[in-house]
A and B are shown apart, each in its own frame.
Chain A
Amino acid sequence: MTPLIALLALPLAGALMAVAVPHRGARIAGVVVVASAGALIMLVAQWGIPHAAPGGWGAPLGIMLEADGLALAFMAMVLAVMAGVCATAAPMRELPTPFWPLALLAWAALNAIFVSRDLFNLYVGLELLTLAAVALVATGGDKALAAALRYLIFALTGSILYLAGVVLVYSAHGVLDVSLLAATLPAPTDRVAMGLMTAGLLIKTALFPFHVWLPPAHAAAPAPASAMLSALVPKASFVILLRLWFEAMPDAADDRLLTALAVLGALAVGHGGIMALRQTRLKQIIAYSTVAQIGYLFLVFPLAGGDGAAQPWAAGAWTGAVFQALSHGLAKAAMFLCAGLWIIAVGSDRLEDLRGLARGLPMTAMAFALAAITLMGLPPSGGFTAKYLMMTTAFASGQVVWALVLAGGGLLAAAYLYRPMGALFAREIPAFTPVPRYLQAVPLVLALLAVGMGVLSDGLYAFLQLGRPGTAEEGL
């Protein structure tokens, strides 16, 4: 078995086993984490672009799978987050048992999406992810049902729009493979197809103004599930967007369209930040922060796409956006896991109930602070490297307004993250249930990874260039 297939088969097999014996779910997940780590290390060590053609047919008849730098980096991030989620979720007795098969199913779907080169296969993967994610929200119990429903309705609207676009693509070109599509002549219906697919994926990525489902859903789910939902799930549809706009149909990019996407991104940064400032519960603050952080990702379209794609600075912006997605994933997972541990400790995530908790659980407070640094984009962190790369492109290409969005978004993040920090570091010594140190260490490790991404970013940058879409030129 090649490591690439192992990365796909392991979570899938784990999910099936967890359905068969749900009470052993935590242990199964642990095995999957360890084995996947092995496979991943082997893949990274090869430093290449492994691919596979299930059934041996290859495109266009079959489906192509390819683990380029982008896919592998995301799979590695997912692995890290899942390891953290599993480690903190395992001792949580109040977590419903179905959590485990669902978490593994979501993981399998994520990996399947990251490596797939086939637009319809991506649809199936997205649906698997959506159903597992909605069900994960529903593990939050009766109070989470409305949020799960709202999420499902939005997600289904999104996937059906995406599918309609895929139908038009196949009908026009007779292929579904991303690489083959790039080689076909443009068809007049491509604009409509791209519009539909993009609209669908925007809903799934929760870009403003399609974000209304996200905060209630992420806040209502149990904390380990929230960590997955916020850190991982929106990234899948974002990666598909990258594949579409930079690999499959770079020619369909129209500057006005790209700018529109970034404008929505900028509005998301502002709206998410302001809403986060108004919340009184920690999980809601973190969830609205996700809305804001997702906004940054969409600045990549005018910075690295369209006419700018051939410019020397495009690679920087593209890589910066990927850095942002990765570091946000790690940092956000750390934050939700902290929130989960604090809920165990004091039974609530209201800011006033968290006052002074830094004394009781210092390692989690540290983890939260480090994660906050990444989200604010302060150095040294993955978030900073991302911001620097995107900002440089913004200035170099004369699109200063996006640089201001990046800078302003960082300040908003500082403002809304200060409130939980201030509460944690208050003088009170609250009554709390102790949390074992090894559990406190889990979010700390994730946050350190997010910060470490900014210190050791050279290797990651080089790795992400493996199979980077050629339209985004290297340079600067």
Chain B
Amino acid sequence: MAVFDLALCTLILLAALAAVAGPGLFRAVVFFVVYGVLIALAWVRLGAPDVALAEAAIGAGLTGVLLLGAVGRLSRAGADEPLTSRIDWPVALAAGLVGAMLVWAVLSLAPGPGLAPAVAEILPQTGVENPVTAVLLNLRAWDTLLESVVLLAALIGLWPLARGGAWQAAAGPVHHALPDGVLAGFGRLLPPVALLVGVYLVWAGAYQPGGAFQGGTVLAAAGVLCVMAGLVRAPGMAAPLWRLALVAGPGLFLALGVAGMAFGGFLLFPTALAKGMILAIEMVLTLSIAVTLALMVLGPPEGGGAQ
């Protein structure tokens, strides 16, 4: 196994090098996606399938799509990447110093069980069986609530970037896909499948790897594909119904959290109700995340037919 680990780590570093310093922006982004997949593999190897799923779906997948889309838009805008071949030695020195300190720190830390035993002990009271989900949605629910709001904030942050201040116009650039092209066929087939996979991921998250963010990502991917295939028109960046969908998840999360005060504390889910409450939050959160991510990937309105 040690050989495998070493090989994987070498590949990860090489892919990262190509992504950060390799020639050509498009190639760099492709290498970044490869890098993300390799990292996901590493997570599997580390016995963290939840993280592996998140990294593959969000870290590599969605971020990759986002970056690829940006490469296209930048080249359309005629904004080519400047060539830099020289190495910036002071920065390299500083970065190397940080790396050396980290390597030293990593090597001098003794491994320990951390909080794993403590989490295992109280897991029955959390209403879920997957310890990672328990931490995310129960023990550190406040983090997760804020995190869902961070995602929302990033999307709202795209509103002011709309061309000409038309922040309510249709999201993203204008897409011209042929209605019966390959993409369109794929696009017709995908949504029902994606819906199934997405819902399953959320449902399964309580027992197995998965959860709202992973599920939402799959749904969002399907939605984006439909738009890119020309099957549906891009929705308004801030159409009323979509805005409700955006806030439904965090809103319900917050509302149930405040309702928890009736049981003795903020975000307190009594053991008997915990499973139901967490599942309800996850379901609605998945919807919000899916819409948020889809609009995010489509990007701020660039003048394609206002609604």
A residues apposed to B, CB below 8 Å? 1-2, 5, 9, 12-13, 15-17, 19-22, 52-57, 60-63, 65, 96-98, 101-102, 105, 108-109, 112, 118, 120-121, 124-125, 127-128, 131-132, 134-135, 138-139, 141, 145, 161, 164, 168, 170-172, 174, 187-189, 192-193, 195-196
Contact = CB atoms under 8 A, between A and B. Distances in A.
Given A105-B156, A170-B114, A16 B268 contact: no
Nearest to B265: A56
A135 B139 contact: no
Contacts of B146: 109, 112, 121, 124-125, 128
Interface residues of B, number: 52
Contact of B105 (A21, A52, A105, A193): A193
B114 A105 contact: no
Contact of B142 (A20, A121, A192, A196): A121
A138 B160 contact: yes
A36 B109 CA distance: 44
Contacts of B119: 61
A174 B112 contact: yes
Nearest to B135: A61
Given A54-B257, A193-B105, A98 B167 contact: yes
Interface string B250-261: 110010011011
A98 B159 contact: yes
Interface in B48-79: none
A125 B267 CA distance: 17
Contacts, number: 162
Contacts of B192: none
6 contacts: A1-B261, A9-B258, A19-B247, A63-B140, A141-B165, A196-B98
B142 A102 contact: no
B101 A192 contact: yes
B147 interface: yes
A121 to B, nearest CB: 5
Given A2-B261, A54-B267, A60-B118, A135 B238 contact: no
Most B C-beta atoms less than 10 A away, residue of A17, A52, A135: A135
Contacts of A101: 156
Given A135-B157, A192-B101, A15 B122 contact: no
B109 A54 contact: no
A120 B160 CA distance: 29
Interface in B139-160: 139-143, 146-147, 149-150, 152-154, 156-160
A9 B102 contact: no
A91 to B, nearest CB: 19
A97 B243 CA distance: 14
A168 B138 CA distance: 24
A57 B139 contact: yes
A127 B122 CA distance: 30
Q: Is the interface of B mostly helix, strand, loop or mixed?
A: helix
B153 A16 contact: no
Contacts of B47: none
Contact of B101 (A21, A63, A97, A195): A195
B104 A192 contact: yes
A2 B291 CA distance: 33
B244 A20 contact: yes
A181 B101 CA distance: 21
Contacts of A128: 146, 149-150, 153
Contact of A105 (B101, B149, B160): B149
A97 B268 CA distance: 35
Given A62-B139, A131-B153, A131-B154, A189 B266 contact: no
A55 B261 contact: no
A127 B150 contact: yes
B246 A19 contact: yes
B108 interface: yes
A102 B139 CA distance: 28
**Closest 4 pairs between A and B when the two form their complex, measured CB to CB:** A135-B157, A98-B159, A54-B267, A54-B142
B6 interface: no
B115 interface: yes
